[in-house]
Amino acid sequence: MILRLVQGAASRARAAVYRMLGMRIEGACWLRAIEIPRHHRAIRIGAGVALDRGTVLLVTGEGSGAEKIVIGRATYVNRCTMIDASERIEIGEHCMIGPFCYITDHDHTFAQGVDPASGPLVGAATRIGDRCWLGAHVTILKGVTIGEGSVIGAGSVVTKSVPPNTVAVGNPARAIKTLPA
């Protein structure tokens, strides 16, 4: 009981600090020991969001003030997940994201004779619809849209968009089942 009270107070304190840094937090949220290194103003999270220990919200590029990471209300992001945005990553409401996931909206430039770290990022917005479930160790790559109500199996690498109400698994992820709407 006392531990729960201490954890709740720590979560509220983290939310207060992130709000002071410019992050848009729309109501009560559960923020464990998360990492947001910079560009706090480019992040918006909805009411009831829970970000578990080790979650990283990383915004790269210029801090233009435009929203680059948006997490819808009542979404749960499990431990050690990284959301890495340079363009825009949008996660819908009531989603569950398993531990050790990686969600990105960009790649590095790759060309003969060019150091990948010195070239510009190549990006395209990534979107996860409402009520989606991503299993553990899922990777979502740039430009992908996961349709609402879809499930992505553990360990999958999603390189192409997934329709709504679909179960997709594998590397690269492929649709194996359509769920009732």
Q: Is-contact 132 168, C-beta < 8 A?
A: no
Mean pLDDT of the chain: 94
Lowest pLDDT segment from 33-37, 85-89, 104-108, 109-113:
109-113
Give start and end residues of each alpha helix (H) in 21-168. Answer: none
If you count them, how many residues does the chain have? 181
CA nearest to 12, candidates 24, 28, 25: 28
So what's the pLDDT on residue 109? 83
Sign of CA dihedral 65, 66, 68, 70: positive
Q: Does the pLDDT at position 62 exceed 90? A: no
Structure confidence at residue 61 (pLDDT): 78
Is 108 annotated as catalytic?
yes
Catalytic residue, from 39, 94, 106, 108: name it: 108
159 has pLDDT over 90: yes
**2-178 topology per CATH:** UDP N-Acetylglucosamine Acyltransferase; domain 1 (2.160.10)
Least confident of 1-10, 42-51, 96-105, 140-149: 1-10
Q: By C-alpha distance, which of 167, 36, 181, 59 is closest to 121? A: 59
End-to-end Cα, the chain, rounded Å:
40
Residue 26 pLDDT > 80, yes or no?
A: yes
Percent of the chain with pLDDT over 70: 99
If you average pLDDT over residues 142-156, what whole number do you get?
98
Residue 64 has pLDDT above 80, yes or no: no
- Rounded to whole angstroms, the Cα distance separating 29 from 8 reads 10
**Helix, strand, or coil here: 11?**
helix
Q: What is the pTM of this model?
A: 0.94
* Cα atoms in the 13 Å half-sphere on the side-chain side of 31: 26
